[in-house]
Amino acid sequence: MIENAPVTACLIVIGNEILSGRTQDSNLKFLGGRLNGLGVRLVEARMVADEEDAIIAAVNECRAAYDYVFTTGGIGPTHDDITPASVAKAFGVPLRRDEQALAWLREHYQDHLGDLNEARLKMADVPEGAILIENPVSKAPGFQMENVFVLAGVPMIMEAMFEDLKDRLSGGQPMRSVTLSAYITEGDMAVRLAEIQARRPETEIGSYPFLRNARLGLSVVVRATDDQALKLAVDEVRELIRFLGAKPLEHG
């Protein structure tokens, strides 16, 4: 990593059910927030189908471009859960049955070992060289291959897995943000807001229209890793809102 460069991450959401609209992804919000708190910036999210070539291509492209890559989905017992095999091919290694993963599954099914069929045993298969990520909910683990972390798609399980892996991450400065909202239009703010952004390149400034109580308004979000830079930019945005005759409402 380049000194003082932001630590970056990408999320690859895997699953036909997400792309079809039958299931709504909620993992992006969780990971974005938690990673930011650790000083890791989630700067891209992709959605790919349960197709081997698509998963391999996404994993290989993203692991070369970002410090960390997270995948969610496709590590269960069904025929379309092909993420582990696809990640193994992306790294050019065989898939193998992990003894520790197998022990965790046997412990989980100890009172109903007859239910631990071949489909469920598949959840103990990981790429050779993988480091397991514990799953305290259903015991079927995720795994890490270099800078790629392969997690479950079920939010409750994914969040539990993240607690196991978070200490493996080395972050930079967390990104802080302040939001200023006002009943003002984006068109009124656009030019002057761009001027503030140009003067404050160490910050990120975004504007987001809203409709509240039948009134149009705008929320301006200012983000930065440096507290002083954040304060200076927020002060300028606040004064701009007042200059335009509106009252700024601030929240974190």
Domain 7-168 fold is: Molybdenum Cofactor Biosythetic Enzyme; Chain A (3.40.980)
137-169 residue pLDDT tens: 989 999 999 999 999 999 999 999 999 999 999
Q: How confident is the model at residue 1 (pLDDT cuts 50, 70, 90)?
A: very low
Cα radius of gyration (the chain): 22
Domains of the chain by residue range: 7-168, 176-251
pLDDT of residue 113: 65
pLDDT of residue 49: 95
Beta strands 215-224 and 95-97: pairing type? unpaired
Question: Whose CA is closest to 153, among 230, 74, 232?
Answer: 74
Average pLDDT, the chain: 92
pLDDT of residue 175: 84
Q: How confident is the model at residue 5 (pLDDT cuts 50, 70, 90)?
A: confident
- Residues 119-144: what's their mean pLDDT? 94
Lookup: tokens for 159:
């969040």
Least confident of 1-10, 24-33, 158-167: 1-10
The total of other beta-carbon atoms located within 10 Å of residue 198's CB is 9
pLDDT of residue 2: 46
Which residue spans within 49-147 are E strands per DSSP? 68-72, 95-97, 125-127, 131-133, 142-145
Q: Most distant CA pair in the chain: distance in Å?
A: 72
Domain 176-251 fold is: Alpha-Beta Plaits (3.30.70)
Q: Are 50 and 16 in contact (CB under 8 A)?
A: yes
pTM of whole model > 0.85?
Answer: no
- Residues 12-21: what's their mean pLDDT? 93
pLDDT of residue 108: 86
